[in-house]
């Protein structure tokens, strides 16, 4: 039997989405466990004082830009109807219907394209299930059906693991109690499991379980565990990314997790900007070094980048000419920029075409791999590094955008969130550039604008005392870096 345990009427605006109809609906299911104490009278065995239940968290997204809003006084509104059907291999075991009303107050654009997220939570018995969700836009009668198979497991004796929750964003939040907050973190889902220009970091959350620790806390060991020495003091965890063909893309070193309770969790973010378009699998493993047992969980995900444009010998004019120049603005030297500014539009068009040809590594083929690479860097930086009102349009003008376009994706990124004493900062490592260099960026103003404070690369700003500039008492009156103004 499946029981809906908690439902909250909540839509969450997250990020711009491409326009479409209800075909943009995405659905995903994540399962995890919860433990609770039981009395001797209902304990399944005399050796245990815990019981566990499995939870399925169903998350979905809808593109707001595709909804059929109607005017109602000072508001625009639309109504969505969701019908959920849950089945096992034998029969339908649960059905539920939800109504969501989406309102847009006066002053907001009706056609603005954002993803609306929602979530319901089920208590589950172990087994294999299928969930079907049908959504109706009552404004125009449009409908869409999506479905997902999922498996529910209960924690076994010893070490076990939850599903991997793939996320679009995560932030520390100890005050909120909404449905997206777990263990003091607000986790925005990514039911499509797609990452790319607008989501260059794959965030994930996973839980590990060691129920024997719960039993010791209440004074009674579990069956097969005769003393605390039979349980591990730590768990070794690592991640692996593979292509769907099985080819290894990357893996981490084993991380030590101290076992201090029956439930543990890991939150992490992986930079995927170096991954090409394709389908991948993220695998999390955990090892109990005392009992020599291993558990693992995996999730498939996709990386999608914007399509690259083609250049022809026809005249570039107006906005197209300006855009083509923006691609190479950081790559031209001083004399090339000065020469370009003196040319007519026809001359500028010919200059850019010849400049790309000069840098084509395979001039005897129709493909210019160098131009493809630079445009991809430009598109990624423009989408990933914008801030404020110009987000999505000015990312290439930022310090991080400039560095990304010139040097490409870093080999490693170390991030430090905002603390009581300092503003957030991040360090980019390029292991094979000039013998190994770093770039340090910080959001000194607290507005999402990461300025370059220090680098060991030749020709870049160098300030070994950059740490003083990230202190929250610092007044940013002489910040280095800034927007591109040429």
Cα 329 to Cα 315, 338, 344, 363, 397: the distances in Å are: 19, 12, 17, 22, 10
- Per DSSP, the three-state class of 372 is helix
Return the structure tokens found at 136: 């109706």
Domains of the chain (ranges; CATH) run 1-153 (2.70.50), 155-305 (2.60.40.3880), 318-470 (no CATH)
Q: What is the pTM of this model?
A: 0.64
In tens digits, what is the pLDDT along the chain, a chain of 486 residues?
A: 333 333 333 444 444 443 345 667 999 999 998 876 655 444 444 444 556 788 899 999 998 878 888 887 778 888 999 999 999 988 888 899 999 998 877 666 655 567 889 999 988 888 999 999 999 999 888 899 999 999 998 776 778 899 999 999 888 877 777 888 888 888 999 999 999 877 888 999 999 888 766 554 443 444 443 344 455 677 889 999 999 999 999 999 888 888 877 788 999 999 887 788 899 999 999 998 887 889 999 999 999 876 655 555 555 666 788 889 999 999 999 999 999 999 988 889 889 988 998 998 888 777 888 998 999 999 899 888 887 554 445 789 999 999 999 999 999 988 887 777 788 899 999 999 999 999 999 988 777 789 999 999 999 999 999 988 888 654 443 444 444 444
Give CA–CA dist 470/165, Å, rounded. 32
Q: What pLDDT digit, counting tens, does each position of 360-415 carry?
A: 888 877 788 899 899 999 989 988 888 755 444 578 999 999 999 999 999 998 88
Of 95, 96, 41, 100, give the one whose Cα is nearest residue 67: 100
Cα gap 156→137, rounded to integer Å: 43
Pick from 268, 273, 271, 272: nearest CA to 284 = 268
Q: How far apart are CA 339 and CA 355, in angstroms?
A: 12
The rounded distance, in Å, linking the Cα atoms of 96 and 133 is: 10
Q: What is the pLDDT of residues 135-176, one digit of tens each?
A: 999 988 889 999 999 999 877 677 889 999 999 988 887 777
Dist. CA 137–CA 22, nearest whole Å:
8
Check if the beta carbon of residue 116 is closer than 8 Å to that of residue 17.
no
Report yes or no: 218 and 43 within 8 Å, Cβ to Cβ. Answer: no
Among 358, 419, 52, residue whose Cα is nearest residue 207: 52
């Amino acid at each position: 039997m499946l029981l809906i345990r908690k439902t909250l009427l909540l839509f969450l605006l997250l990020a711009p989405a491409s326009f479409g109809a209800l075909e943009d609906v995405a659905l995903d299911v994540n399962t995890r466990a919860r433990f609770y104490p039981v009395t001797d009278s209902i304990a399944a065995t005399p050796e245990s004082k815990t019981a566990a239940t499995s939870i399925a968290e169903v998350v979905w997204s809808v593109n707001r830009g595709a909804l059929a809003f109607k005017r109602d006084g000072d508001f625009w509104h639309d109504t969505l109807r969701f019908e959920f059907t849950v089945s096992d291999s034998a029969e339908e075991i649960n059905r539920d219907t939800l109504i969501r009303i989406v309102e847009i107050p006066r002053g907001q654009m009706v056609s603005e394209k954002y993803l609306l997220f929602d979530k319901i939570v089920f208590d589950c018995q172990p087994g294999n299930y299928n969930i079907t969700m049908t959504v109706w836009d009552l404004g125009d009668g449009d409908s869409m059906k999506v479905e997902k198979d999922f498996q529910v497991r209960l924690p076994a004796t010893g070490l076990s693991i939850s599903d991997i929750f793939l996320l679009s964003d995560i932030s520390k939040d100890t005050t909120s109690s909404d449905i997206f907050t777990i263990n003091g973190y607000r986790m925005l889902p990514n039911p499509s499991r797609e990452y790319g220009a607008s989501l260059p970091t794959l965030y994930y959350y996973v839980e590990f379980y060691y129920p024997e620790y719960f039993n010791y806390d209440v004074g009674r060991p579990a069956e097969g565990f005769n003393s605390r020495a039979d349980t591990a003091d730590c768990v070794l965890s690592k991640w692996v990314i593979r292509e769907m063909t099985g080819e290894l893309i990357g893996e981490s070193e084993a991380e030590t997790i101290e076992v201090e309770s029956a439930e543990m969790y890991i939150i992490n973010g992986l930079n995927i900007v170096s991954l090409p378009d394709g389908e991948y699998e993220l695998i999390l493993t955990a090892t109990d070094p005392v009992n020599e047992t291993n558990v693992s969980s995996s999730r498939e995900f996709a990386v999608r980048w914007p399509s690259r444009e083609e250049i022809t010998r026809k005249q570039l004019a107006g906005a197209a000419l300006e855009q083509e120049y923006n691609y190479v603005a950081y790559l031209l030297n001083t004399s090339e920029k000065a020469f370009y500014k003196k040319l007519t539009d026809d001359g500028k068009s010919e200059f850019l075409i010849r400049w790309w040809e000069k840098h084509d590594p395979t001039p005897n083929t129709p493909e210019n791999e160098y131009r493809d690479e630079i445009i991809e860097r430009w598109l990624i930086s423009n989408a990933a590094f914008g801030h404020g009102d110009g987000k999505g349009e000015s990312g290439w003008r930022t310090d991080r955008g400039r560095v990304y376009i010139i040097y490409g994706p870093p080999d490693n990124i170390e991030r430090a969130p905002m603390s009581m004493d300092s503003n957030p900062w991040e360090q980019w490592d390029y292991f094979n550039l000039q013998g190994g260099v770093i770039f340090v960026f910080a959001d000194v103003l607290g507005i999402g604008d990461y300025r370059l404070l220090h680098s060991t690369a030749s020709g870049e700003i160098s300030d070994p005392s950059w740490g003083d500039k990230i202190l929250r008492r610092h007044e940013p009156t002489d910040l280095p870096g800034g927007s591109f103004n040429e």
